[in-house]
Amino acid sequence: MPGASIEAIMFHQRQEDSVRAFEEAASGRIPPARSPGQVNHRRIGDLVFRLFGSAWFLFLAVLVARDWHYHSFGDLAFSAFSGWSRLVSQGALVLVYLTLWLMILIRPPPIARANGLMPNVMAFAGTYLPWLIGLMPRGEGSDAGVLIASALILTGNVLIFFTICHLGKSFSLVPQARRLVTAGPYAVVRHPLYLAEEIMIAGAALLYLSPMTIVVVCLHAALQIRRIFYEEQVLSQAFPAYAAYKSRTWRLIPCVW
């Protein structure tokens, strides 16, 4: 919703509140009563997070796009095959960030969310911890190693984009429920976005391979596993059909877990 005013976003959100209330009534779910002050406070908080959260991903898209433009047109020596594979990976990453920016901006308010501070802390730590990898010294890898790393990063970015297209407006950083998505990659595993992210992070770890990088990757994996359990708890409480969905899908890795 580029260029939309705050009033327009608030109007859009009130419309979606009404639709969600109708869907809850039709499904037999009766949301707990809230005072007008609680509703306005929740609505303003969601609006602030929506604006600033989307702005963050737009900022990341601009940063990566600037680096992509420099290597494409400003560095004539950047012509090796491994270099071009990196350019393609960065282009895919820009597309992912722009998609996340748009999804956060236009998504409806959640119908359920995790209680307490810890689920949100886990979500933000799991999201931003991998950024430490890019601050570490780059390893002296071979051209084959760089090519493998770039292929993993590109594959992860493509899978992230494909998954977000199915997740749509239900995307969220913190454990929240908007609608139950069971199509596309979600028909195979319940958390395909995390799987795609780990593939991308594995590629980044190969580029910056060191003992500290391995520690960061292991810590990130532990955070994401805990994050998965928080999200499944919220979805189980919000959607009665989630139990049947769990029974026919793998959690993260097909045929493994």
> Model confidence over 200-255: pLDDT tens digits?
899 888 888 889 999 999 999 999 999 999 999 999 999 999 999 999 999 999 99
8 A C-beta contact, residue 234 and residue 211: no
Q: Coil, helix or strand for 176?
A: strand
- Residues paired with residue 112 on neighbouring β-strands, in sequence order: 177
Mean pLDDT of all residues in 139-149? 76
The reported pLDDT for the residue numbered 255 is: 92
Structural domains of the chain, ranges and CATH numbers in brackets: 6-247 (1.20.120.1630)
- Residue-wise pLDDT tens digits, 23-46: 444 444 444 445 555 556 666 767
112 in Cβ contact with 238 (< 8 Å): yes
Residues 6+ apart with CB under 8 A from 105: 1, 4, 9, 50, 51, 54
Q: Which residue has tokens 């501070």?
A: 117
Contact in structure between 104 and 170 (CB atoms under 8 Å): no
Here the contacts of 130-134 (C-beta below 8 Å, separation 24 or greater) are 130/197, 130/201, 130/204, 130/216, 130/217, 130/220, 132/216, 133/201, 133/204, 133/205, 133/208, 133/213, 133/216, 133/217, 134/204, 134/208
Bridge partners, residue 81, by sequence = none
pLDDT of residue 23: 46
**Which residue in this structure is represented by tokens 């071979």?**
142
Q: What value does the mean pLDDT take over residues 192-198?
A: 94
**Per residue in 42-93, pLDDT tens?**
667 677 777 777 788 888 888 878 766 655 555 444 445 556 666 776 777 7
pLDDT tens digits, residue range 2-29?
444 445 444 455 555 544 544 444 444 4
- Reported in sequence order, the residue ranges of 79-182 that DSSP labels E, i.e. its strands, are 112-113, 176-177
pLDDT at 137: 78
